[in-house]
């Protein structure tokens, strides 16, 4: 959510920021609504002040009227006229009608303003490259080299189906496309990957593990910026609750409506949850395999910080996600997303992409974003700086550390042998309890 006062004072800067995000200028319309809203808001306040004054005069007049003998007064005397109770009541009724009409107009205009502002994405940070999509993303660094095979590597879905442990056909009978059934040692390996990530982030990096709800109210989805913009990409229950597309939603909302002490910051949370996405905008994309699913598991990182901490926290969070890939021995690169490729709530995003041998390209496995005060303003999440009486908006950050299903498929393609089996990476063996995945 954006600060309306800041927009009012910096219309050109706001317009430029939206243009960088590929959003057509709506500043003139917004400011016009704002001007009309302030006119009606002022009218309502003035009418309320007049009504309050008249109410006091009516009270005085009624007390005066109870005096049995009132000295004769000149009919033209101002006080005499103001003690005319019927006239005062008539004036009060007019002031009340004026206040009600102005307040209703102000409320209607404010609702229009809030709806419009709620559809506008966060403004990109100054160092975010301009560009409409992923073609303008900037390479920050690379780690590791793509593997060289002395045989033709198979795709993860081909290996999984050949081993009899990855079943898309039966999943389709149960739920339709973009679902998978994992069985036996492969299901156990997926769980081992999640356990490995959770242990790493909680023990080495100090994140607090959380087991959150998988269903949230509309206000929680609005607070993180998923609603109203991404409603088509989410699943909604008949009771009005929303299935989480990422644990970012419940984890970030843990501080919604709170005022935290600065000494408690930063807060760092992690969770392993299923995630549910309708993928409404992905028709025809990645229809084979586990790249893009309606249901998948993910280990999420969320940080709650002060504005002064958020930039350094963003770098730290990205390094935490990278450590997962370093320990797994997967070659990756870190990309700074362009203004047109970022998510709705982000002001700056790093994507971590792992080399996928069969596709011979890098594919995203993690996305780490600094949202600044954008989500905090929507959630009314604040903190009290040390030694100050006032409060300030928090900064929120989120990152994938990493997508468990995608990590599984990357491990599959990198650690396959010529016989079609999977060699389990050393770091996962204590969690999995075996060193190979073979046909069962």
- pLDDT tens per residue, range 310-365: 999 999 999 999 999 999 999 999 999 999 999 999 999 999 999 999 999 999 99
Residue located via tokens 């954006």 = 2
- Structure-block tokens of residue 70: 């009132």
Strand, coil or helix: what is 322?
A: helix
Q: Which residues pair with 370 in a beta bridge?
A: 348, 397
Q: Cα–Cα distances in Å, from 317 out to 181, 210, 370? A: 31, 17, 10
The residue among 21 and 25 whose pLDDT is bigger is 21
Catalytic residues: 277, 292, 364, 367, 406
Question: Which domains are delineated in the chain?
Answer: 4-118 (1.10.287), 134-437 (3.30.930.10)
Picking from 203, 260, 214, 274, the residue whose alpha carbon sits closest to that of residue 376 is 260
Q: What integer is the mean pLDDT of 254-274? A: 97
Which residues, 6+ apart, have CB-to-CB distance to 284 below 8 Å? Answer: none
In the predicted structure, residue 409 carries a pLDDT above the cut 60: yes
Q: Smallest Cα–Cα separation from 132: which of 22, 26, 25? A: 22
Q: How far is CA 412 from CA 163, 354, 408, 420, in A?
A: 12, 13, 6, 10
Cα–Cα distance for residue pair 406/126, rounded to 1 Å: 31
* In contact, 409 and 402? CB cutoff 8 Å: no
The strand pairing partners of 141, in sequence order, are 334
Is the pLDDT at 44 greater than 60? The verdict is yes
Per-residue pLDDT, averaged over 76-94, amounts to: 69
* DSSP summary character for residue 263: G
Q: Is the pLDDT of residue 77 over 90?
A: no
* Burial (0-12, 13-18, 19+ Cβ within 10 Å), 283: exposed
Residue with tokens 């229009």: 112
What does the pLDDT look like over 387-406, one tens digit per residue? 898 999 999 999 998 899 99
Residue linked to tokens 């501080």: 255
Looking at residue 60, what is its pLDDT?
A: 83
């Amino acid at each position: 959510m954006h600060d309306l006062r800041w927009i009012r004072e910096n219309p050109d800067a706001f317009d430029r920021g939206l243009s960088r995000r590929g959003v057509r200028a709506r500043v003139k319309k917004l400011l016009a609504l704002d001007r009309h809203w302030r006119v009606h808001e002022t009218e309502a306040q003035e009418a309320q002040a007049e009504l309050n004054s008249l109410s006091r005069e009516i009270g005085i007049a009624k007390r005066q009227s109870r005096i049995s003998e009132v000295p004769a007064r000149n009919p033209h005397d101002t006080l005499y006229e103001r003690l005319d109770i019927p006239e005062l009541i008539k004036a009060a009724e007019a002031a009340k009608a004026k206040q009600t009409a102005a307040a209703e107009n102000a409320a209607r205009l404010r609702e229009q303003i809030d709806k419009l502002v709620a559809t506008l994405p966060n403004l990109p940070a100054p160092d975010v490259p301009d560009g409409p999509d992923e073609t303008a993303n900037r390479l920050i660094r690379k780690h590791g080299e793509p593997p060289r095979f002395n045989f033709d590597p198979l795709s993860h879905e081909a290996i999984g189906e050949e081993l009899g442990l990855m079943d898309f056909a039966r999943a389709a009978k149960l739920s339709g496309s973009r679902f998978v059934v994992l069985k036996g040692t492969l299901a156990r390996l997926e769980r081992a990957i999640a356990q490995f990530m959770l242990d790493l982030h909680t023990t080495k990096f100090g994140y607090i593990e959380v087991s959150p709800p998988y269903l949230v109210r509309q206000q929680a989805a609005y607070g993180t910026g998923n609603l109203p913009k991404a409603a088509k990409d989410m699943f909604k229950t008949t009771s009005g609750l929303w299935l989480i597309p990422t644990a970012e939603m419940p984890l970030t909302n843990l501080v919604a409506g709170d005022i935290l002490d600065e000494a408690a910051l930063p807060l760092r949370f992690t969770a392993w949850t299923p995630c549910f996405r309708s993928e409404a905008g992905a028709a025809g994309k990645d229809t084979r395999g586990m790249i893009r699913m309606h249901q998948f598991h993910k280990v999420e990182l969320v940080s709650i910080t002060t504005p002064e901490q958020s930039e350094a926290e963003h770098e730290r969070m990205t390094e935490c996600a990278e450590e997962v890939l370093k320990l797994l021995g997967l070659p990756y690169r870190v990309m700074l997303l362009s203004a047109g490729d970022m998510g709705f709530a982000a002001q700056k995003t790093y994507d971590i992409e792992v080399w996928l041998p069969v596709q011979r390209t890098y594919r995203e496995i993690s996305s780490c974003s600094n949202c600044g005060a954008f989500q905090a303003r929507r959630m009314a999440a604040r903190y009290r700086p040390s030694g100050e009486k006032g409060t300030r908006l928090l900064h929120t950050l989120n990152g994938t550390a990493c997508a468990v299903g995608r990590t599984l498929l990357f491990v599959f393609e990198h650690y396959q042998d010529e016989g079609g089996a999977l060699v389990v990476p050393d770091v996962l063996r204590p969690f999995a309890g075996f060193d190979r995945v073979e046909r069962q």
